[in-house]
Chain A
Amino acid sequence: MSVKASSAKDVVLARVREALQVPAPPPHLKSHDLQEAAGISNARPAGAVGTFKPLSIAPLDVARPWLPEGGQTPEERMHILCDNLKRLKAEFHRACHLQAAAELIFSIARQRDWQRVAYHRHELVDPVASALHCATVCIGEPASFDKRALEQCDAGITACESLVAQTGSILVSSATCGGRSLSILPPVHIVIAHIDQIVATLEDALHDAKVRHAGRMPSMLSFITGPSRTGDIERILVLGAHGPKELIVVLVGESP
């Protein structure tokens, strides 16, 4: 880093420290307990500087009971997830085993006359990709990555890290789901997942990702919530702005 840049850093950090010498009152909250907790964090001995204490209650612990429901049991979670995906205009399928999923995608590809489909190596994706009638592009080795070839594909098939019932989101990562572009560049994104991958809330999905990648986060983690959309023209909803127009989710496994 250049000398100039590091000095800008020092200047800005010094300004921040200086600015925070005077405490700011907590926001006016609805909950009295929270108001109290916030007050405790904010209190500091006279003359002390920069002694704002971290909150004794995590905001998430406060919010948890009030956020949209994610479901207590696997059945509930499955139900909420389906419902959310439907609202988001994602296509949703169940398959009792991987073979059935492969047949399903095969027939969709046939029906729509897909010429080329991209995928990545994964135990849930491989059988589906190898059953296809059309050409396939495997996204894997960095050296062989060809964005122009991927742009020509009709669909991309990926696995996912988890599915979030609460919001209908699908968490993908650059490490486990074929990198960054596979799930966003082709006009159709197909997700093959196992029903055990359904989690209740965003919190659970983030927590699991943190544990799974233990200290080495993938360079990208993305919550995909429905197919790409825009409302920029007269606030009218249009699907497929820049990302996939269609999101097809196939859940493999017997009913929970």
Chain B
Amino acid sequence: MSVHDATTKAALPAEAKNQFLHDAAEHVRDIDHRSFVRKALGGYYVTRDSQKAKYRDWEHARDAAALAKWSAVNRLDELLPLFVTNFEAGGGIVHFARDAQEARTIIVDLVRASNAKAIIKSKCMTTEEIHLNDALEKEGYVVVESDLGEFIQQLRGEPPYHFVFPCMHVRRGEISDLFQKHLGTEPTQSPEELTMIARRYMRQLYVDADVGITGANFLVAETGQISITENEGNARLTAALPRVHIALSGIEKVVASLADLAVLLPMLATAGTGQPMTCYNTLYSGPQKNDEPDGPREMHLVLLDNARTAILADPEQRDSLHCIRCGACLNVCPIFKNVGGFTYGTTYQGPIGSVITPHLRGLSDWNHLSSASSLCGACTDACPVRIDIHHHLLHNRRNAVRASPKRLEHIGHQLFAFVAARPWLFAAGGKLFRWSLGFLKKIRPPLLRQWLETRDLPPAPPKSFRQLWKERS
């Protein structure tokens, strides 16, 4: 695939913040786009709420889901080796990767060793995180994304807009044009027909592919199975027809037992898309067994660290590893809805992306994401595994200030503390400010200018609050 916009941004991290501000401003002006995305999410709210109502108590169920992930992540030292042992007993091969580079090398080597000609891939955000497609294409392999949304994004040469709904910002007309251009199909306005075009196109690719690449949603320590959640059936096909199955997963996806899945699978579906269960929830324990008719001859699982152990080492934010990537926090986030998915310039968009990206790519360059929040807490309320998302944004702000204190801000705070502790000075300051406001508005000093660009400054009231209060009593 050609260069990904967002990954280019990532390559120039010093500019990440400016890029964010620029893109956000652009996006906010695009009212059509915003209302389109809101409309798409409108349907989600309705189905999610009606499915949540089937739970006898969603909040208690969230407790259980949070506990399942919390206890697994905090026992990772014990559960991860247990998972590896059990998985290997099923005939699969485990590869550890310390970082993205190592994971790419492992996968490219595996593909090469299997003499693959064609590779089919099902949706996997971890492969986006390590930019796997670019690496494989550089080696001359053709990789086809089989998830419909991902396929559309691949043809558009864009990364996913939302990590659960990759092309939610694209209109059907654009998809029709895209298919016409790349697949030579007739134009159509019907989502159904567009889906069938992709279905027909992909069929032969599944049959011909030598290697199938998938992600994993959960790693079950007790039984050594990996669990994959999907709606379209593309992951099932990807893990059924090719000779070799390669799965890539972060190490934090471990859960203790199958029983935990009985809680997490339905909650992932309800929080993510409002379904009772996602269409296919599949557990794989290795390659085809002797007495089974079909399946891959080899199965490889690449377990990726890539800064996850750094998050693990931070007890305050360790819970951000509980994330099951349901996308609920994006769907309710006022910032996401206004700035859109691409503005973040990250693999993981939205509130949880803003929490973990500074860990994955460096706090100094990505801290601006912590400020891209109204701290309304909608994300924390939506999270099925009770990650304290909005507080982590505050933690990141604090850590960034600790790492590189802002002198001017500090002086400002001290000045305020000094003034606020002296009522007469406070009153005088207030008077001065009320008096000079009109003047400031006219000359627009630098600090105020930015603020005034998109906002109006109302005239100062003639009397201060304290004066009004006194008169009242």
Contact residues of A with B, CB < 8 Å? 1, 5, 8-9, 11-13, 15-20, 22-31, 34, 38, 41-42, 50, 52, 54-55, 57-60, 62-63, 65-69, 84, 87-88, 120, 139-142, 145, 147-148, 151, 166-169, 174-175, 178-182, 184-185, 201-203, 206-207, 210, 217-236, 238, 240-244
Task: Tell me the chain B residues, 36-79 only, with Cβ under 8 Å from chain A.
Answer: 40-41, 43-44, 54-68, 70-71, 73-78
B241 touches A181 (CB 8 A): yes
B90 touches A219 (CB 8 A): yes
**Given the complex, which residues of A lie within 8 Å of B224, measured CB to CB?**
217
A235 touches B168 (CB 8 A): yes
Given A219-B90, A223-B265, A230-B231, verify A147-B294 contact (CB < 8 Å).
yes
* The residue from B41, B57, B234, B292 contacting A175, defined by CB atoms under 8 A apart: B292
Counting residue pairs across A and B whose Cβ atoms lie within 8 Å, the total is 358
- B17-25, B136-144, B187-195 - interface stretch: B187-195
Given A55-B71, A234-B171, verify A167-B259 contact (CB < 8 Å).
no
List 10 tightest A-B contacts by C-beta distance, closest first. Answer: A243-B233, A63-B64, A241-B232, A19-B313, A232-B149, A179-B293, A180-B240, A15-B309, A19-B312, A59-B68
**Given the complex, which residues of A lie within 8 Å of B203, measured CB to CB?**
151
A38 touches B70 (CB 8 A): yes
B74 touches A230 (CB 8 A): no
Q: Considering the chains assembled together, what is the distance between the CA atoms of A168 and B102 in angstroms?
A: 41
Given A34-B67, A229-B232, verify A206-B258 contact (CB < 8 Å).
yes
Given A66-B55, A145-B294, A180-B295, verify A225-B175 contact (CB < 8 Å).
no
Task: Type the 1/0 row for B182-211, where 1 means its CB is closer than 8 Å to any CB of A.
Answer: 000000000110111011001100110000
* The residue from B60, B66, B77, B91 contacting A66, defined by CB atoms under 8 A apart: B60
B291 touches A29 (CB 8 A): no
B77 touches A16 (CB 8 A): yes
* The residue from B84, B191, B305 contacting A15, defined by CB atoms under 8 A apart: B305
A18 touches B313 (CB 8 A): yes
Q: Considering the chains assembled together, what is the distance between the CA atoms of A182 and B225 in angstroms?
A: 21
**Given the complex, which residues of B lie within 8 Å of A235, measured CB to CB?**
40-41, 43-44, 165, 168
A222 touches B98 (CB 8 A): no
B292 touches A142 (CB 8 A): yes
Given A16-B80, A167-B266, A217-B285, verify A184-B278 contact (CB < 8 Å).
no
**Given the complex, which residues of B lie within 8 Å of A221, measured CB to CB?**
225, 282-283
Q: Considering the chains assembled together, what is the distance between the CA atoms of A27 and B258 in angstroms?
A: 22
A232 touches B166 (CB 8 A): yes
**Given the complex, which residues of A lie within 8 Å of B206, measured CB to CB?**
185, 242
Given A8-B96, A55-B71, A58-B259, verify A142-B280 contact (CB < 8 Å).
no
- B269-277, B354-362, B401-409, B454-462 - interface stretch: B269-277
Determine the residue in chain B with the shortest Cβ distance to A178. Answer: B293
Given A12-B309, A233-B148, A236-B191, verify A184-B319 contact (CB < 8 Å).
no
Smallest Cβ distance from A100 to chain B, in angstroms?
28
**Given the complex, which residues of A lie within 8 Å of B167, measured CB to CB?**
232-233
Task: Tell me the chain B residues, 207-221 only, with Cβ under 8 Å from chain A.
Answer: 207
User: Please, could you name 12 A-B residue pairs with CB atoms under 8 Å apart, sorted by A?
Assistant: A1-B95, A16-B76, A20-B77, A59-B260, A65-B60, A141-B293, A174-B288, A181-B294, A219-B286, A219-B292, A220-B282, A243-B234
* The residue from A50, A147, A217, A242 contacting B234, defined by CB atoms under 8 A apart: A242
Given A147-B207, A210-B223, A219-B286, verify A8-B102 contact (CB < 8 Å).
yes
A67 touches B263 (CB 8 A): yes
**Given the complex, which residues of A lie within 8 Å of B133, measured CB to CB?**
none
**Given the complex, which residues of B lie within 8 Å of A120, measured CB to CB?**
293
A219 touches B77 (CB 8 A): no
